[in-house]
Structure 1
Amino acid sequence: MTLQNRIINQFTDSIQTKQDALGELCELIELASQRMVSALLNDRKILTCGNGRSAASAQLLSSNLMNHFERDRPSLPAIALTTDTTTLTAITNDYSYEEVFSKPIRSLGQSGDVLVTYTDGNHSSNIAKAIVIAHSKDISIISFTGEKSEVISGLLTERDLEIRVPSGSAIRTFEVHVLITNCLCDLIDHQLFDGMG
């Protein structure tokens, strides 16, 4: 296989996964945006977390909400729990990596907030612990997952939303998570600010 054929395969696989996700997830993405808008309109915030490349997705969401997406508009309250290296390393050192997101949720989370989690695999004990603590504080969950995320899926309740990408590939799942994150930001801006002069 030539290098260009490998490039074509990467693009083709990515496009197919995105088309599959569109067919399965459009309604859930709409509902997720409405839940986030409802929280924001009720003076609540969006908390978000993930590991590795999923941390990048979490930070993309909080950055797009707090700064701006594609238009100038007021900042929206969003916190990526993945960004404070002093706190992250202190919690990991003094307690365990499993506590790295749950401890900040205990201190920052409020009833009515939304926790958005990202994982493209099934080895996320810190995400699992974050979900358990969020539930105890009456924080609803929007969980971005993939086909290999059974542990996280099993923790979600009927009140939560799972946006599960129909792919067993971690890379394809990550790519779709980024696209859906951008869709959510567009939908949030549309619902909150399209009436602004």
Structure 2
Amino acid sequence: MKQTIKNEFLSHLEVINLTIETMQDKLEQASLLVVETLKNGNKILLCGNGGSAADAQHIAAELVGRYKSDRRGLPAIALTTDTSILTSVGNDYGYEKIFDRQVEALANKGDLIIGISTSGNSKNIVNVLKLGRELDCKTVGFSGYKGGIMNEFCDINLIVPSNNTPRIQEMHILFGHIICQIVDDELS
């Protein structure tokens, strides 16, 4: 059991070291995009499936509530939380449209859509990023592996250099926390 624990820590450290080497510039760009979006009076719309849905909700909560600093609440919406919308749109239009319909209803030019998918290929995430571009929103992806199809539809795709889903998810929430810290630094 102790060896399993040690192996998990070592696997995490390996991925974090690779991520530090490859993602600092893109993470800075994504953070600046979030800050600019909020300073311009626009909002952040976040989405993902499964654990990525939980990450979307977590990051939105950090922005609306607070991360570390007491500051005004910031406009961020996790598109994963309204079960009535998710199930009605899924039923009427298909699961691949559950985020599209919400973006059609809620997004304005200049808003930022953050799509989270460990593979970078989740159809509903790819669809919403594509739609976001059509609506003149900025788009940021949190992905893994090689970024998947999301690469085509993201202004910035933060790609964790790993094919290990748990490690990718760990980096995604770290990306979210780093962005929130920069938001706190710039908007507090």
Place the TM-score, normalised by the shorter chain, in its bin: over 0.9
Please show how residues 76-91 of structure 1 align to structure 2 within 5 Å.
76-91=74-89
2:9 alignment partner AA: F
Report the alpha carbon displacement of residue 123 of structure 1 after superposing the two structures with TM: 4.3
User: What residue number does 1:11 align with?
Assistant: 9
Report the alpha carbon displacement of residue 149 of structure 1 after superposing the two structures with TM: 3.8
CA distance in 2, matches of 1:95, 1:107: 15
SS, match of residue 180 in structure 2: helix
User: What residue number does 1:97 align with?
Assistant: 95
TM-score by length of 2: 0.97
CA distance in 2, matches of 1:143, 1:37: 16
CA distance in 2, matches of 1:133, 1:122: 16
SS, match of residue 83 in structure 1: coil
1:172 alignment partner AA: R
4+ residue segments displaced more than 4 Å? none
2:123 alignment partner AA: S
Deviations 1:129-176 (A, max 9, x none): 1011101100011100101541222333xxx00100000111110000
Please show how residues 44-123 of structure 1 align to structure 2 within 5 Å.
44-123=42-121
Gaps of 5+ in 2: none
2:18 alignment partner AA: D
CA distance in 1, matches of 2:115, 2:146: 15
Say whether 1:175 aligns with 2:170: yes
TM-score by length of 1: 0.92
Gaps of 5+ in 1: none
Is residue 100–residue 128 contact of structure 2 (8 Å, CA) maintained in 1?
yes
Say whether 1:163 aligns with 2:158: yes
Stretch of structure 1 that moved more, 139-148 or 103-112: 139-148
Deviations 1:31-78 (A, max 9, x none): 111111111111100000000001111111100000000121110000
CA distance in 2, matches of 1:55, 1:63: 12
Percent of residue pairs identical:
34
